[in-house]
């Protein structure tokens, strides 16, 4: 059995705004094994970013973790104080963000920002840290790193900034790297470069990755396991093959069908998911997807469905999987092959 690095149990995170409690994450369980790449997919407002911010304990006021455990190598991060978290953050769990321009500090050189992590967590001297920083820049593919180390973020292009962010994140060889939409702000050709780099580094540095994205193509390329989130809950979880070729939840099926396929010759009409995501100020009593689901039954509106297991490691939250439910085929194979 692989070793668990991260085990999140029953996580509930809410934002207490003046309008009321926004229940962004409403009870989420997932785990991350050593050396694997887990994808968290969902639309905006599904709770995927709040989940990762909760793991890092970077939630801003008025966000609070209400319930649950975040076990990282047998430490419960929920119980850690901010001071204790500072030893974990950047050192053992690191994060890269969507927009590399706003997450780098414009008044410090790239080198200073990489060295800061190394000096802080590894008790290195300035000279050692500088050498390590050059080493890291070389690792992420920045040309002539000994010169570029003294550049400022504005002298780097978008792709290079994201490479620099990855260098900062991996400087202390963390156990877990959380990448929140790392390529969304980048062009496709640069996205391909960064994804290739992440795949390569995962093997070199031996870091487990959580990749948060809305792009199913990116997930298929990088991840071995996928968690699909909607309305603050995990709708479905399984290996990448199970999710793409044998989706059990109508939402997962809807997501797969609503994107156009480049590799299919004939033009097919897209099948959109009608309606809009639920308001998490007043989350629905039943399944969060019920209002948009074409297979919606009465029970779906009244009661939240329990998780049903389809195969080893593949579970989904849907009443259709209940033994008493009518047998409905939610669609042919998720991905129509040529």
Partner 1 sequence: MTNIQKNDVLLELKNLKKYFPVRHGLLGTKVEHVKAVDGISFEIKRGETFGLVGESGCGKSTTGRTIIRLYEVTEGEVVFDGTELGRLTQKELIPYRKRIQMIFQDPYASLNSRMTVADIVGEPMDIHNIASGEDRQQKIYKLLETVGLSKDHASRYPHEFSGGQRQRIGIARALAVNPDFIICDEPISALDVSIQAQVVNMLEDLQKEMGLTYLFIAHDLSMVKHISDRIGVMYLGKLVEVADADKLYEDPNHPYTQALLSAIPIPDPDIAKNNERVILEGDVPSPLNPPSGCRFRTRCQYVMDVCSKEEPTLIDLGGGHMSACHLNNK
The residue ranges that bind partner 1 (CB under 8 A) are 43-44, 157-160, 187-193, 195-196, 214-221, 240-241, 244-245, 254-256, 258-263, 265, 267, 269-274, 276-277, 335, 337
Shortest spacing between CB 258 and partner 1, in angstroms:
4
Tokens of 68: 């649950």
Distance in Å, CB of 183 to partner 1, minimum:
9
Identify the DSSP state of 206. Answer: I
Q: Which is nearer to partner 1, 15 or 244 (CB)?
A: 244
Return the number of the residue (90 or 232) whose C-beta is nearest partner 1.
232
Which residue, 3 or 338, has its beta carbon nearer to partner 1?
338
In terms of CB distance, is 69 or 215 closer to partner 1?
A: 215
State in angstroms the smallest separation of the CB of 97 from partner 1. Answer: 19
In terms of CB distance, is 250 or 305 closer to partner 1?
A: 250
Smaller CB distance to partner 1: residue 157 or 309?
A: 157
For the bound state, the minimum distance from the C-beta of residue 28 to partner 1, rounded and expressed in Å, comes to 20
Of 110, 234, 117, 222, the residue nearest 169 (C-alpha) = 117
For partner 1, give the closer residue by CB, 58 or 101. 101
Copy the structure tokens of residue 103. 């997450």
CB of 86 to partner 1, least distance (A): 35
Least Å distance, CB 219 to partner 1, is 8
Angstrom distance (rounded) from CA 229 to CA 47: 7
232: tokens are 């603050």
Phi, psi of 153 (to 5 degrees): -50, -35
Q: What is the nearest approach in angstroms of partner 1 to the Cβ of residue 157?
A: 4
Nearer to partner 1, 4 or 261 (CB): 261
Q: Whole-number minimum distance, CB 85 to partner 1, in Å?
A: 32
């Amino acid at each position: 059995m692989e070793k668990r690095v991260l085990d999140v149990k029953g996580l509930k995170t809410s934002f207490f705004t003046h309008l009321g409690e926004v229940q962004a994450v409403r009870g989420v369980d997932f785990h991350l094994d050593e050396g694997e790449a887990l994808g968290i997919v969902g639309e905006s407002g599904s709770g995927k970013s709040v989940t990762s911010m909760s793991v890092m304990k970077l939630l801003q006021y008025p966000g609070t973790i209400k319930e649950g455990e975040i076990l990282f190598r047998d430490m419960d991060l929920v119980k850690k104080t901010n001071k204790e978290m500072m030893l974990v953050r950047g050192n053992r769990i690191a994060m890269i963000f969507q927009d590399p321009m706003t997450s780098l500090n414009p008044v410090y050189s790239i080198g200073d920002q990489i060295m800061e992590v190394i000096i802080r967590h590894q008790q290195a001297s300035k000279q050692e840290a500088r050498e390590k920083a050059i080493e890291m820049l070389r690792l992420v593919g920045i040309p002539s790193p000994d010169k570029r180390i003294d550049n400022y973020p504005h002298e780097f292009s978008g792709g290079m900034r994201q490479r620099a962010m990855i260098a900062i994140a991996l400087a202390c060889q963390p156990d877990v790297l959380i990448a929140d939409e790392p390529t969304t702000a980048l062009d496709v050709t640069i996205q391909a470069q960064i994804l290739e780099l992440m795949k390569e580094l995962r093997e070199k540095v031996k870091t487990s990755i959580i990749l948060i994205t809305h792009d199913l193509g990116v997930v298929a390329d990088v991840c071995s396991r996928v968690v699909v989130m909607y309305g603050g809950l995990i709708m479905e979880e399984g290996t990448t093959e199970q999710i793409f070729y044998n989706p059990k939840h109508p939402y997962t099926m809807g997501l797969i069908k609503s994107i156009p396929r480049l590799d299919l010759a004939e033009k097919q009409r897209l099948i959109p998911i009608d309606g809009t995501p639920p308001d998490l100020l007043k989350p629905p009593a039943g399944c969060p997807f019920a209002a948009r689901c074409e297979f919606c039954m009465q029970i779906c509106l009244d009661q939240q469905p329990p998780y049903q297991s389809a195969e080893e490691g593949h579970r989904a939250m849907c009443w259709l999987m209940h033994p008493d439910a009518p047998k409905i085929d939610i669609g042919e194979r998720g991905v129509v092959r040529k």
